[in-house]
A and B are shown apart, each in its own frame.
Chain A
Amino acid sequence: MDQLRFITCGSVDDGKSTLIGRLLHDAGAVPDDQIAAMTRDSASLGNAGGGTDFALLVDGLTSEREQGITIDVAYRYFSTPRRKFIVADTPGHEQYTRNMVTGASTADLAIVLVDARKGVLTQTRRHSYLVSLLGLKTVVLAVTKMDLVEWSQSTFERIVSDYRAFAETIGLTTVIAVPVSGVTGDNIVTLGESAPWYRGDSLLSVLESVDVAHETTGAGFHMPVQSVIRPDLDFRGYAGQIVSGAIHPGDAVRISPSGQTSRIARIATFDGDLDRAVAGQSVTLALSDHVDVARGDVISAADRPLEAADQFEATIVWMADAPLLPGRAYDLKIGARTVSARITDIRHEVNVNTLEKLAARTLASNAIGVCHLSLGQDIAFAPYHQDRTLGGFILIDRESLATVGAGMIRFALRRSQNIHRQALTVDRAERAGVKGQKPAVVWFTGLSGAGKSTIANAVEALLTAEGRHTILIDGDNLRHGLSRDLGFTDADRVENIRRAAETARLMTDAGLIVLVSLISPFRADRQMARERMVDGEFFEGFIDTPLAVVEARDVKGLYAKARSGALTNFTGIDSPYEAPTHPDIHIRGDLTSVEDAARQIVEHLRAAGRLRAD
């Protein structure tokens, strides 16, 4: 017996709960005690005019809704003698895009509901677009409430033809249409008498027989390595779930992204070694050579290696309340690998109702955008439309650790291959060496008015006095030149910090000691700056002056303006400051004199070996 996972798309108004309730009930999947509860509640809570309201079977979570508990994706299970079914149902209206995308990500097909009285609506198109976006190819179009249009054949055919015309434009290749009524039960489990003109199968028969190839043994063999299994010195195996293809002992394989090759020595399982393993199975592979394989690498058939790249175009579905910010560093998990990632550009946002392309600088919750990404290292991948596992990823916020987005790789930008870095004759070590120092960045962070720029100036004076070569990048000055096109939205702030960090990085290549003075309120952005630099060259300097103190000083009068509402997005007032948890240098701005602070920082650099050449 095999398994079919599907998602139902539509709202309660389309008769979705009634349809699913009827399907579960007539397929015999509902226990007697739940049927008794449904019958009992139909009279008081039901909407079926006193008759049995099948929607009550799936709306069993109503009480939770009343308690204010969100229901996002609920999974239900039923089986017939021919198949086992797993149904993803997304009952709420709130967060609909996010929930539908989540439910569709593991589905083999989608049932799209259309109310016979209303025909193909905007929401039908939205649901279908999301289904196609997640790579589903097969849709069962259930035209519901047929009893309310007197089982009109022409109505059904008009809706089906409208839908097919649209489905074709978004790549849904297989559409199977069934006219049904959840209330009468016609054509759901068995064919009813009501529509003699209908020549197809009942909804359940379609679900039982439709061919959905969820594991492609024909494609090349690929398996992301989840873990290295080493019970003793004699065995070293790579555990993973095969995403496509088949493998046998003796087959030649290639490891991505390293490109090393070897052969399969054993396919080890608890039930004994296998002579063959196929897509979908979780196995442990032993190789015949000692090659370097780690979690996150992909083992592929030698003649079907995966591409590796670090720059992509991808479609991203944003799922967090806080918007996506270009430039900010997120963690990206694909297969079993997690790498750092930045969205370098939002090409456009997609209006899910009209499919129009819109210009966008951020993506809000439930928005979908086509973006460019830059990763911290190469990953092995396949475009999402070829393989869901090798091309689908999630984005994780580094601060909250929450899953904030989901993405589907469209293609690699190949910038890493096209733009060859110019080899330079004089390297950064030499440039710094002639100055008798090593490059460094001191990144001063703290509230507005904390004393960052004052202290940075004093540090620069001390360093210059002892013959060091420095540069000071000041947030305010940056705003007059390099970042004059940016405002103070979260997205613009991130971009401002990125520019400051890239500039600082260039300066370190020149061998300089760079002092950056920027409020930089978000940890993720400071982390991004740190990652731009060579290891050991970045020093986070926290100028820690309490809000009460800086607000009382209010040198520039900005706090007063912010408090009065004349200035918005002001750090510390209506925009948060995330203090460093482990700063390299920590100065209490209210308790330390500027001179002492500067001396402390210079001595820190000296102790770290930055003030001498090797």
Chain B
Amino acid sequence: MNAAPSTPDRLSHLQRLEAESLHIFREMAAECAKPVLLYSIGKDSAVLLHLARKAFYPAPPPFPLMHIDTTWKFRDMYALRDRMAVESGMELIVHTNPEGIARGINPFEHGSAVHTDVWKTQGLRQALDLHGFDAAIGGARRDEEASRAKERVFSFRAAGHRWDPRRQRPELWSLYNARVAAGESLRVFPMSNWTEADVWDYIAAEDIPVVPLYFAAPRPVVERSGTLIMVDDDRMPLNPGEVPRTLMVRFRTLGCYPLSGAVESEATTLDAIIAEMRGSRSSERQGRLIDADQVGSMEKKKTEGYF
């Protein structure tokens, strides 16, 4: 038996967030027939997985992990994914849209909009239908983007995975309505009330493994439209005369490597990352090229079934 940690009378901010997330996980598991945790390997997924393991301890979480793969993630991400699946003892399902493979979809020739739609939006819908999952757990937070600020913890999806704002259910207290009819499903966001700062503070406090790309290191990058893109493998076509430079960079958010902007940084430790973030004056998703595709971009993707 482990040593007994002491319990204060009043919970701290992080303890309150954690307790709320565990409560959400347990409600979801009790009321949904076939849930799945959507694991996308970033820092939010890392925290999400950690919370899931805590919620059902000493049993393993009663659902599998699923990664909707685009084949264009950073190599470091694939390595961590496989390691965490082993460590958690959970089943890992990897889904890759066969149409994406057949058409060789990539962000360079097809653009970020098509790339995201085929691999992620269509891929996710396929995978959920294929396995018959009625609830998909994600690490999205309300502070990430304007249209997420009103997202429910249990977000209702009509048949065909469509997000209909008019059918979202009021959520009072900690009472969640997880009922769905055949063909309908839920997206469940246990970390709705977390902020980017909370995520890093929690990773530090709980010593949660994250992808090394969040820490600054010398990496080969090229600059495109003012954004630093890392050349993670030799599939990246270089423009005539373009030569990758090695800069001390890190990533604030991680997605597909050709679509993730790096920032120059000297932050090589968690403390340094947290200090840098507190001093930072730009939005976290600014480095995500897909959000800026078009006006109301995230809202539109959501109605189409994007996470």
- A401–B22 Cα distance when bound, in Å, is 24
Partner of B286, one of A33, A215, A278: A33
Q: Are B7 and A63 in contact (CB under 8 A)?
A: no
**A71 neighbours in B (Cβ, 8 Å):** 150
- Complex contacts, B192 vs chain A, CB 8 Å: 75
Contact with A along B162-188 (1 / 0, CB 8 A): 000111111111110101110000000
Given the known interface contacts A31-B282, A280-B15, the answer about A336 and B27 at a Cβ–Cβ threshold of 8 Å is yes
Q: How far is the CB of A149 from chain B (nearest CB, A)?
A: 33
Residues from 21 to 64 in B contacting A, C-beta threshold 8 Å:
22-23, 26-27, 29-30, 53-60
Chain B residue nearest to A61 (CB atoms) is: B146
Report whether B11 and A280 are in contact in the complex, using a CB–CB cutoff of 8 Å.
yes
CA distance A240 to B56 in the complex (A): 10
Tell whether, in the assembled complex, residue B149 and residue A75 are in contact, meaning their CB atoms are under 8 Å apart: yes
Report yes or no: A63 in contact with B296, Cβ–Cβ below 8 A: yes
Interface-lining segment among A111-119, A268-276, A372-380, A518-526 = A268-276
- Mark out the residues of chain A between 11 and 33 whose CB falls within 8 Å of any chain B CB in the assembled complex: 31-33
What bracket does the count of chain B residues touching chain A fall in? 35 or more
- A 262-316 contacts with B by CB, 8 A: 268-278, 280-282, 284, 295
- Whether the pair A272, B60 counts as a contact (CB closer than 8 A) is no
A457–B54 alpha-carbon span in the complex (Å):
62
B94 close to A (CB within 8 Å): no
Does A439 interact with chain B (Cβ within 8 Å)?
no
B288, CB-defined interface residue at 8 Å: no
A-B contact number at CB 8 A:
190
Nearest neighbor of A63 in chain B, beta-carbon distance? B296
Of A201-209, A225-233, A350-358, A409-417, the one with at least 4 CB within 8 A of chain B: A225-233
Please provide the chain A residues from 218 to 245 with a CB less than 8 Å away from any CB of chain B in the complex.
226-227, 229-231, 235, 237, 239-241
* A276-B7 in contact (CB<8A): yes
Would you call B117 an interface residue if the criterion is a C-beta within 8 Å of the partner chain's C-beta atoms? no
B contact residues around A280 at 8 Å (CB): 10-11, 15-16, 19
B299 is contacted by which of A2, A69, A277 (Cβ under 8 Å)? A69
Chain B CB within 8 A of A494 CB: no
The residue in chain A whose Cβ has the minimal distance to the Cβ of B3 is A272
A270/B54 contact (C-beta < 8 A), A281-B19, A282-B23, A295-B30 known: yes
Interface of B is mostly: loop
CB of A267 to closest CB in B, whole Å: 9
Q: Mark the stretch among A101-109, A537-545, A549-557 that contacts chain B.
A: A101-109
The verdict on A227 contacting B282 (CB below 8 Å), with A67-B296, A268-B58, A276-B7 known, is no
* B59 → A minimal CB distance (Å): 4
**Contact status of A77 and B195, CB under 8 A, knowing A276-B7, A389-B173:** yes
Q: How far is the CB of B84 from chain A (nearest CB, A)?
A: 15
Given A1-B13, A71-B150, A230-B59, answer yes or no on A273-B30 (Cβ-Cβ < 8 Å).
no
* Chain B residues closer than 8 Å to A64, beta-carbon distance: 146-147, 296, 299
A277 to B143, CA, bound (A): 30
CA distance A86 to B11 in the complex (A): 16
Q: Are A31 and B283 in contact (CB under 8 A)?
A: yes
Return chain A residues, CB-CB under 8 Å to B16: 2-3, 280
Interface residues of A in 58-94 (CB under 8 A from B): 60-61, 63-64, 67, 69-77, 79, 83-84, 86
A444 beta carbon closer than 8 Å to chain B = no
If A282-B18, A333-B177 touch, does A273 touch B143 (CB 8 Å cutoff)? no
**Contact between B5 and A274, CB atoms less than 8 A apart:** yes
> For the complex, what is the distance from the CA of A393 to the CA of B193, rounded to whole Å?
22
Q: Quick check: A215 and B10 within 8 Å, CB to CB?
A: yes
The answer for the CA separation of A393 and B175 in the assembled complex, in Å, is: 7
Assess the B174–A389 pair: CB atoms within 8 A.
yes
Determine the chain A residues whose CB is within 8 A of the CB of B173 once the complex forms: 105-106, 388-389, 392
A403 touches B (CB below 8 Å): yes
Contact A281 B150, beta carbon cutoff 8 Å: no
Instruction: Tell me the minimal C-beta distance from B13 to chain A in angstroms.
Output: 4
Interface string of B263-307 (1 = CB under 8 A from A): 000000000000000001111001000000001100100000000
A146 at the interface (CB under 8 A from B): no
Evaluate contact between A277 and B7: CB separation under 8 angstroms.
yes
Q: Closest CB of chain B to A28's CB: distance in Å?
A: 9
B13 partner residues in chain A, CB cutoff 8 A = 1-3, 83-84
Residues of A close to B179: CB separation below 8 A? 331, 396, 401
Given contacts A105-B172, A241-B22, contact A401 B149 (CB under 8 A): no
User: Are A402 and B169 interface neighbours, CB within 8 A?
Assistant: yes
A231–B10 CB distance below 8 A: no
Query: Which residues from A are CB-within-8-Å of B1?
Result: 272-273
Contact of B57 among A33, A106, A268, A394 (CB under 8 A): A268
Closest Cβ of chain A: how far from B85's Cβ, in Å? 18
Residues of chain A at the chain B interface (Cβ within 8 Å): 1-3, 31-34, 60-61, 63-64, 67, 69-77, 79, 83-84, 86, 98-99, 101-102, 105-106, 215, 217, 226-227, 229-231, 235, 237, 239-241, 246, 268-278, 280-282, 284, 295, 319, 331, 333-334, 336, 388-389, 392-394, 396, 401-403, 406
**3 nearest CB pairs, A to B:** A272-B2, A282-B22, A231-B59
- List the interface of chain B (C-beta within 8 A of A): 1-13, 15-20, 22-23, 26-27, 29-30, 53-60, 142-143, 146-147, 149-150, 165-175, 177, 179-181, 192-193, 195, 197-198, 280-283, 286, 295-296, 299
